[in-house]
Amino acid sequence: MPYYYFYGFDPAYLLLIVVSTILGMAAQGYIRSTYRKWSNVPASSGMTGAQVARRMLDEGGASSVGITEIGGTLTDNFDPRDNKLHLSQENFSEGSVASVAVACHEAGHACQKAKGYVPMKVRTALVPVVNFATNAWTVVLLLGIFMGLAGFVRLALILFAFSVIFELVTLPVEIDASRRAVKYLAANGGGIDEKGAKQVLTAAALTYVAAALVSILQLVYLMGRYNDRN
């Protein structure tokens, strides 16, 4: 957060860093421990994450969506640009409750697209704007500080605000995808699948909540420093 470096020591900035770090580590630790726990529990269907996701896609009106395997752990995602679920190796080929839950969550995103889920449309429309804003706001802020141009600093805050809006719009998209996954597993799996999916996907949702909260705190901090400066 470059704005800080031009004001000397700031306890508020230090507190923000500490809080942000704790929130991020706690959220990541929780999702990893929960995922690990349910990775050791076989799903009742006996199918892999990719197989269950395939069925969910076909029944949810998204049969044209493909499924591919990617590297990494918890790198799973649905990419509307190539219309494919990209599942990490574990969740693609294994049949644990965690694998099935994550795969169905990503299938939930594909079903959102197929059904025209409005928050997802908004999120997708914001992507190019947010990509530009994320890359530009720091440069604009530094120019504003070095050149003493309050208008540039204000513009940097507006650009950063788009990132915050994106984080907030992401929340209902992720929560709804998890809801779709749990609902599908409750109707097509066993009680263990539903219970595990709720725990795994709730833990995953908390990472998005933490990210949104950190972004809001950063924006509030920057706006406060800007107002103090002026």
Residues designated as active site: 106
For residues 73 and 102, give the distance between their C-alpha atoms in angstroms, rounded to a whole number.
11
For residues 96 and 185, give the distance between their C-alpha atoms in angstroms, rounded to a whole number.
13
Instruction: Please determine, for residue 92, whether its predicted confidence score (pLDDT) is greater than 80.
Output: yes
pTM: 0.87
DSSP summary character for residue 96: B
Residue 117 near residue 173, CB atoms below 8 Å: yes
Residue 1: per-residue pLDDT: 43
- Give the tens place of pLDDT for each residue, 58-86: 999 999 999 999 999 899 999 999 999 99
